[in-house]
């Protein structure tokens, strides 16, 4: 959720930093701040309100400087109070901003206290500030390189020191950080979006990189300490209507709203309780022996994903039906099954009709997962779980899908707990993973420039295959659907193991094959499927977890996901597929928000 902006320039850089924070507000935050070197000393302004309040503080205090860093923070270590807001200082000589979590901060804090450092915040970030200060011997770049070797966890940092007034140092591990290249000025940010309007040339730092920004140059060293030349990418500034802010289309805006939408959807309770689904949920859940999920389109794919969760976590048999087919065939009703209907609008005609048909067959227990509290679907069901995606304008669903997945995971965990299959430790771990999701998603969104490069290749294709296995097969289906919906490229998705049973006949160099490759129990099987495609001249585009050991090679293009995320991995892996579809459609010049022949809410059969 946090955002970083930094700059070294020959002009007052504070307006650029503030504007960068404004562009990062979509991430959600509970405090913000800016620090500059002014008159040879670091000075800062911090706020636990909005960026607009910070801007007012800056103007009233006449805070100005040519070297500075800024931050929006979502509280992890320490409450959202001013003392915990970034930038964090060390002995009024050094300032730092930080995204991520330092896992060994307690050990480092005790060590630094032994050296006489006084901690004034509850943040893990203050540990990094004092650590760098304690090691500083006149070369901030070398000092940061030394300091990060002692950090365990994820971080993206920007650091300045009063002894080097025209220098900002950045470093990243597990959290995104990009360098923006200017003319006699250079920039640093957690997201290229923050620098739109200031530069269109970016270096996307890799894991373990440390960079030094000065007025005239950018230096980058890899994790081994060796200087490296990273590719400079041209990324056009975002345009679009005023109401879209920096975005070109509502779909892009809604993709980037997902961290906040998910944060708003995640229950605030410290555990999974039946009451999350309604006052009568506990009684209803006690009387069920299976689930029947009914949905259409993207919502159907969320149901398919949920089937894996429900059967693996809750150990409850689950059937998923396309709503438009369910009521037109003879089925065997089970009054003890919980019928779950899924819809963004709650007005989807096929799903409403299927719900009524199920009720007519004697299904008493029904639950809706929906984004609209006043919808017909919510009114018709006994129980409900409301997602908080906000208004979704783009026809191709993005944030509605991921928030549905959150709701369905909560359902699986709740039923698992009630049925004795989720221990207290597992419950706590699931809660932790859910709460970390927004931050993890921000790291995924930072992959956008790499995906843009892929989209240029995809825009010249007319067909594509998408592959996934197990829990991620429905995500491959969703990725194919997105590409079809808005770029009009014919796309199909298959379980990767089914390749040899027919689809492999389609594979040529003209047919890109998109593969979702998480580090799970099926990874080695998936690698074999990848080799089947390569052996036949296919061009592979793989979204791989960092620890899969799948690397770029001839005919094999890899974008590394920022972290492995276990059972919740589908929520992360679908986002780059959304971005790929979006940027491919842009490259082809289609009407992204209003694709031909489609409507946002299908209210007729």
Which ranges constitute the DSSP H helices of 329-398? 349-360, 376-380
Known active-site residue 461: no
pLDDT for 273 equals: 95
Among the listed residues 162, 484, 594, 600, the single catalytic one is 600
Q: Are 300 and 475 in contact (CB under 8 A)?
A: no
Average pLDDT of the residues in 185-212 = 89
Kindly write down the DSSP assignment for every residue of 276-326, as one continuous string: GG-TTHHHHHHT-SEEEEEE-HHHHHHHHHHHHHIIIII---EEEEEHHHH
Q: Where do we find the tokens 């706590």?
A: 428
Query: For a pLDDT cut of 90, what percent of the chain falls above it?
Result: 66
Least confident of 284-298, 300-314, 550-564: 550-564
Environment class of residue 418 by beta-carbon count within 10 Å: exposed (0-12), middle (13-18) or buried (19+)?
middle
pLDDT, tens digit, 9 for 90 and up, residues 274-301: 999 999 999 999 999 999 999 999 999 9
Which pLDDT value is given to residue 304?
Answer: 97
Q: Where in the chain is the domain with CATH 3.60.20.10?
A: 3-237
CATH 3.40.50.10490-classified regions of the chain: 263-441, 446-588
CA angle 393, 410, 435 (to 5 degrees): 80
Domain 3-237 classification at class level? alpha beta
CA angle, corner 150, sides to 144 and 156, nearest 5? 55
**pLDDT score, position 527:** 74
Helix H or strand E segment including 56? helix 51-61
- CA 361 to chain centroid, in Å, comes to 41
What is the pTM assigned to this prediction? Answer: 0.62
188-202, 206-220, 390-404, 503-517: the lowest-pLDDT one:
503-517
CA-wise closest residue to 177 among 197, 185, 169 = 169
Q: What is the overall mean pLDDT for the chain? A: 89
- What CATH class does 446-588 carry? alpha beta
Mean pLDDT of 246-254: 91
Give the per-residue pLDDT at 581: 96
Give tens-digit pLDDT for 523-546: 677 777 777 777 676 788 888 887
pLDDT digits (tens, 9 = 90+) for 256-266: 999 999 999 99
Given a contact cutoff of 8 angstroms between Cβ atoms, the answer to whether 54 and 48 are in contact is no
Q: Where does 263-441 sit in CATH, by number?
A: 3.40.50.10490
* Residue 309 half-sphere exposure toward CB, CA atoms < 13 A: 28
How far is the C-alpha of 543 from the C-alpha of 281, rounded, in Å? Answer: 38
Which one is catalytic: 2, 211, 296, 586?
Answer: 2
Instruction: List the end-to-end C-alpha distance of the chain, in Å, as a whole number.
Output: 40
Q: What is the mean pLDDT of residues 312-330?
A: 94
* Model confidence at 92: pLDDT above 90: yes
**Helices 424-445 + 569-588 axis angle, to 10:** 20
CA–CA gap between residue 223 and residue 174 (Å, rounded)? 13
Query: Closest by alpha carbon to 144, among 155, 159, 156, 154?
Result: 159
Given this model, what pLDDT does residue 603 score? 36
Nearest in space to 150 (alpha carbons), one of 128, 171, 129 = 128
Among the residue ranges 130-139, 266-275, 550-559, the one predicted with the least confidence is 550-559
Peptide bond into 87 cis (omega under 30): yes
d(CA 49, CA 386): 27
The percent of residues above 70 in pLDDT, for the chain, comes to: 95
The span from the CA of 341 to the CA of 295, in Å, is 6
* Residue 552, pLDDT score: 76
Q: What is the mean pLDDT of residues 473-483?
A: 96
The DSSP line for 78-94 is S-SSGGGSSSEEETTTE
Residue 120, Cβ neighbours under 10 Å: how many? 10
- Strands (DSSP E) contained in 344-443 are 366-370, 383-386
> Residue 238's CB: how many other CB atoms inside 10 A?
18
User: Secondary structure of 447-496 in the HEC alphabet?
Assistant: CHHHHHHHHHHHCCCCEEEEEECHHHHHHHHHHHHHHHHHHCCEEEEEEH
To the nearest 10 degrees (0 to 180), the angle between helices 569-588 and 448-458 is 50
Residue 237 has pLDDT above 50, yes or no: no
Output the pLDDT for position 252.
94
Q: How many angstroms separate the CA atoms of 344 and 392, rounded?
A: 9
Q: Comparing 227-231, 233-237, 251-255, 280-284, which segment has the lowest mean pLDDT?
A: 233-237
Summarize pLDDT for 143-175 with one digit per residue, the tens: 999 999 999 987 899 999 999 999 999 999 877
CA distances from 408 to 356, 370, 404 (A): 21, 11, 6
Residue 600 annotated among the catalytic residues of the structure: yes
């Amino acid at each position: 959720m946090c955002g970083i902006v930094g700059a070294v320039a020959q002009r007052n850089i504070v307006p650029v930093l503030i504007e960068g924070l404004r562009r990062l507000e979509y991430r959600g935050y509970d405090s913000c701040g800016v620090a500059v070197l002014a008159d040879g000393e670091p000075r800062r302004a911090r706020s636990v309100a909005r960026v607009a309040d910070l801007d007012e503080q800056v103007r009233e205090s006449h805070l100005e400087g040519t070297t500075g860093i800024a931050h929006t923070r979502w509280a992890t270590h320490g409450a959202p109070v001013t003392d915990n807001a970034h930038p964090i200082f060390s002995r009024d000589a050094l300032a730092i901003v930080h995204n991520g979590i330092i896992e060994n901060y307690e050990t480092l804090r005790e060590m630094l206290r032994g050296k006489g450092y006084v901690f004034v915040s509850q943040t893990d970030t203050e540990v990094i500030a004092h650590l760098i200060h304690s090691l500083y011997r006149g070369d901030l770049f070398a000092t940061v390189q030394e300091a990060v070797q002692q950090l365990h966890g994820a971080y993206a940092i920007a650091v300045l020191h009063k002894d080097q007034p025209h220098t900002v140092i950045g470093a990243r591990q597990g959290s995104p950080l990009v360098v923006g290249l200017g003319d006699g000025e250079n920039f640093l940010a957690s997201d290229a979006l923050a620098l739109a309007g200031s530069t269109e040339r970016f270096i996307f730092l890799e894991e373990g990189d440390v960079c030094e920004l000065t007025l005239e140059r950018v230096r980058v060293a890899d994790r081994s300490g060796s200087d490296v030349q990273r590719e400079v990418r041209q990324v056009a500034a975002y345009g679009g209507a005023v109401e879209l802010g920096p975005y070109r289309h509502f779909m892009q805006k809604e993709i980037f709203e997902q961290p906040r939408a998910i944060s708003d959807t995640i229950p605030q309770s410290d555990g999974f309780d039946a009451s999350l689904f309604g006052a009568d949920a506990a009684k209803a859940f006690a009387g069920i022996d299976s689930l029947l999920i009914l949905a259409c389109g993207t919502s159907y794919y969320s149901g398919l994903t949920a089937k894996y969760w429900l059967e693996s976590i809750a150990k409850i048999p689950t059937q998923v039906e396309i709503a438009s087919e369910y009521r037109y065939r003879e089925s065997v009703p089970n009054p003890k099954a919980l019928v779950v209907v899924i819809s963004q609008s709650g007005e989807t005609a096929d799903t409403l009709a299927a719900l009524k048909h199920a009720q007519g067959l004697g299904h008493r227990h029904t639950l809706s997962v929906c984004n609209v509290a006043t919808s017909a679907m919510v009114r018709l069901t006994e129980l409900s779980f409301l997602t908080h995606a906000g208004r979704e304008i783009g026809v191709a669903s993005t944030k509605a899908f991921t928030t549905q997945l959150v709701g369905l995971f909560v359902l699986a965990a709740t039923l698992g707990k009630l049925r004795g299959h989720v221990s207290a430790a597992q419950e706590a771990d699931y809660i932790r993973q859910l709460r970390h999701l927004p931050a993890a998603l921000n790291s995924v969104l930072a992959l956008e420039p790499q995906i843009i490069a892929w989209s240029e290749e995809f825009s010249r294709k007319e067909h594509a295959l998408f592959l996934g296995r197990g829990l991620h097969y429905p995500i491959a289906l969703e990725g194919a659907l997105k590409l079809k919906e808005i770029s009009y490229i014919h796309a199909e998705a298959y379980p990767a193991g089914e390749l040899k049973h027919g689809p492999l006949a389609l594979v040529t160099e003209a047919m890109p094959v998109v593969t979702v490759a998480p580090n799970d129990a099926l990874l080695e099987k998936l690698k074999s499927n990848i080799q089947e495609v390569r052996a036949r001249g296919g061009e592979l585009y793989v979204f791989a977890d960092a620890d899969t050991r799948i690397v770029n090679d001839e005919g094999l293009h890899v974008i590394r996901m920022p972290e492995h995320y276990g059972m919740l991995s589908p929520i992360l892996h679908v986002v780059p597929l959304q971005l790929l579809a979006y940027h491919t459609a842009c490259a082809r010049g289609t009407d992204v928000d209003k694709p031909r022949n489609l409507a946002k809410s299908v209210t007729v059969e």
